[in-house]
Amino acid sequence: MDALAVSIIIPNYNGEQILERSLACVVEAAGAYPGSCEIIVVDDASQDNSLQLIDKQFPEIKVIRHEINQGFSEAVHSGVRASNYAIMIFLNSDVLPDREFISPLVRWFDRQDTFAVSPLILDRERKPLRVSWNLSKIVRGEVRRENWSLPDALEKAHRERPLKSLFASGGSVALRKAMFEQLGGFLPIYKPFYYEDRDLCTRAWQRGWKTFFEPDSRVIHDHVGTIRRFYSAKKIKIIQRRNRLFYLWLYLSSRKIVFSHVPWIFVRLMTRLVKMDLVYPIALFKALCGLGKVIRLKKTNRRKPILMPLEEILKEAQY
């Protein structure tokens, strides 16, 4: 069988200091892949010399330019619209893929129910990051990731047991373009960042489209990307916790929200206030300000033919 053609989409904002290294790795990987492979960088109105660097050192890369900064989701959407192939790989600008990372991801798309595939994500010391494989359960009204070991994952994978995952990280994921477009891409409620990838894969699971973890594909996430360079640690935490609440309100069943999630909101709120930690109270306030948007999205979901509460998805998305 001929190798499937692949579009690699990389959002960039003021990434001049990290692009040279990361794009060199991506170009090498694209050259090693036996199928057709295009690389698309979406520049989100950078104010540094990102564009000049790409034009000079990587003329083979296709560049999409935003005149106004629009954020991660819209940068990805612009790349999707400009892409030519049915399989897409999203990479953050600070991700360094191994030379042979593409083929292990793409082989999963022989399955008609494959929506997304996550590689093994390593830190700069090449230690596995837990976000590579998302095995989750509901604890005290929230979704918590379960621990896993790489030897266990490799042993199961080599016995040809599919490693199902709740979601693949949006910073390094292969997915099917047609399904992404049918889902409408990332939801704007999560802007400017975090939880849009978890939400996307949850909506895919609701339709019976699966996410898998492929440990034979490896990338290094150097964690020097846009978010940490341009947002304070406190603001990042507030946005992350706000979006976590949005996600839970959208996908938990009504019974689970009333009898498990809401009581623990009050417990957490009181605990944080006693400790004078204002991150959670601020995040909760901001989430409540967006509750109307959540309710409208939830009503839209109810009109769709396939609707599975998050509790059932978590049982299905297990190895």
- Together in a domain, 121 and 92: yes
Considering the domain boundaries, does residue 196 fall inside one? yes
The CB density around residue 21, as the number of other CB atoms within 10 Å, is 11
User: Do the beta carbons of residue 250 and residue 294 sit within 8 Å?
Assistant: yes
Whole-angstrom Cα Rg for the chain: 20
Query: Do 238 and 177 have their domain in common?
Result: no
Range of the domain at 83: 6-229
Same domain, 47 and 102: yes
| CB 16 within 8 Å of CB 96 | no
Which residue(s) pair with 64 in the sheet? 42
Per-position pLDDT tens, the chain of length 319: 579 999 999 999 999 999 999 999 999 999 999 999 999 999 999 999 999 999 999 999 999 999 999 999 999 999 999 999 999 999 999 999 999 999 999 999 999 999 999 999 999 999 999 999 999 999 999 999 999 999 999 999 888 889 999 999 999 999 999 999 999 999 999 999 899 999 999 999 999 999 999 999 999 997 665 676 677 889 999 999 999 999 999 999 889 999 999 999 999 999 999 999 999 999 999 999 999 999 999 888 777 766 678 999 999 888 7
Instruction: Tell me if 316 is assigned to some domain.
Output: no
Establish how many alpha carbons lie within 13 A of residue 293's alpha carbon, considering only the half-sphere containing its beta carbon: 14
Rounded to two decimals, the pTM is 0.94
- CA dihedral angle for residue 5, residue 89, residue 64, residue 56, rounded to 10 degrees: -80
Q: Are strands 62-66 and 95-97 parallel, antiparallel or unpaired?
A: unpaired
Please state, as a whole number, how many other Cβ atoms lie within 10 Å of the Cβ of residue 44: 24
Which SS3 state, helix, strand or coil, does residue 123 take?
A: coil
How many other CB atoms sit within 10 Å of the CB of residue 11? 30
Decide which of 180, 214, 229 is a domain's last residue: 229
| Cis upstream peptide for 162 (omega within 30°) | no
